[in-house]
């Protein structure tokens, strides 16, 4: 199952709104096939793993491992559960059930009805964590929300600036953390900044220091409650959103408890005065030490 998770992660940034899925086929203690979902609209992990097996007769003596319940419906591709049954694979081990209403236990039901021996719930927390965007989207009916900002060592995100005063924003990021930001943009569906940040900084909000697609730029609507706008993004099938600034917009997401992960770059630069950084409470999960900054990763108690 850990190998399934490793494989699945290769699809990050390429498969949304589908989940990241990896699959491994084992026969008599030996891996004979493995695969992952590479691109939205292309074949699923189970199909790729089965296609890797040179002798399909061995499938009748094998166990198929997959981190997410095999699909049971016709979408862009035929149901994986049907293929597993057709190939007479006798055992299937599943990390977690699929929250998508079109599947949600139906895949397991099809396999059980066909007499396949099932084990469900292996590394379940890790499997759900990998696809936290997918689970949040289907269970909370909103995107998975990342908050991101950079700040000085004494808690300011910028100097006090006014439109037209010619002052540039303070750059806290170093080359490495800038790459991390662009990688993050490439992996998520959409990005948002406040209107003041847009006027002052005119950020491009695209992917330049990494490979991948540019996120969709979302403009916050002042008279529209954030929860309602997140509902609209759900209806547009946007699974993840990065909120990059400014301080007021970030704090409004925090105050309404509309966030799942926060990535805060803390620089060794000291400003002494300026625009206060947002304040949040969450669980500090990781710290990445860079040359001039530390990147703090907070989670807001992810519960699928």
User: Hey, which residues are catalytic here?
Assistant: 46
Rounded Cα–Cα distance for residues 23 and 62 (Å): 13
Q: Which two tokens stand for residue 88?
A: 């007479």
Q: Which of 244, 150, 157, 266 is nearest to 198 (CA)?
A: 244
Rounded Cα–Cα distance for residues 44 and 58 (Å): 20
Rounded Cα–Cα distance for residues 264 and 294 (Å): 8
Q: Which long-range contacts (CB under 8 A, 24 or more apart) does 71-77 make?
A: 71/44, 71/98, 71/102, 71/103, 71/107, 72/102, 72/103, 72/106, 72/107, 72/109, 72/110, 73/102, 73/103, 73/106, 75/102, 76/40, 76/41, 76/42, 77/41, 77/42, 77/43, 77/44, 77/47
The bridge status of strand 22-27 relative to strand 62-68 is antiparallel
Rounded Cα–Cα distance for residues 205 and 209 (Å): 12
Matching residue, tokens 């990896």: 22
- The full length of the chain comes to 304
């Amino acid at each position: 199952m850990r190998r399934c998770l490793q494989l699945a992660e290769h699809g990050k940034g390429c498969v949304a709104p589908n989940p990241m899925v990896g699959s491994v086929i084992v026969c008599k203690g030996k891996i004979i096939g493995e695969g992952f979902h590479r691109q939205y609209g292309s074949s699923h992990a189970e199909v790729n793993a089965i296609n890797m097996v040179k002798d399909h007769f061995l499938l009748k003596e094998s166990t198929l491992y997959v981190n997410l319940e095999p699909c049971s419906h016709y979408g862009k591709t035929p149901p994986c559960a049907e293929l597993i049954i057709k190939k007479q694979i006798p055992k299937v081990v599943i990390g977690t059930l699929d929250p998508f209403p079109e599947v949600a236990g139906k895949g397991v039901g099809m396999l059980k009805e066909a007499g396949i021996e099932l084990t469900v719930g292996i590394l379940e927390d890790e499997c759900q964590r990998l696809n936290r965007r997918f689970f949040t989207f289907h269970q909370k009916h909103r995107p998975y929300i990342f908050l991101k900002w950079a700040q000085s060592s004494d808690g300011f995100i910028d100097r006090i600036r006014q439109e037209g005063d010619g002052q540039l924003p303070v750059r806290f990021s170093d080359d490495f953390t800038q790459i991390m930001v662009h990688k993050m943009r490439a992996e998520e569906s959409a990005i948002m900044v406040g209107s003041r940040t847009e006027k002052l900084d005119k950020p491009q909000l695209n992917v330049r220091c990494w490979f991948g697609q540019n996120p969709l730029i979302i403009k916050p609507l002042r008279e529209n409650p954030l929860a309602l706008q997140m509902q609209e993004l759900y209806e547009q099938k946007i699974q993840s959103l990065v909120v990059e600034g400014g301080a007021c917009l970030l704090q409004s997401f925090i105050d309404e408890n509309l966030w799942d992960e926060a990535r805060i770059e803390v620089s060794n630069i000291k400003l002494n005065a300026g625009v206060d950084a947002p304040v949040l409470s969450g669980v500090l999960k990781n710290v990445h030490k860079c040359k001039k900054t530390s990147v703090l990763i907070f989670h807001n108690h992810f519960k699928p």
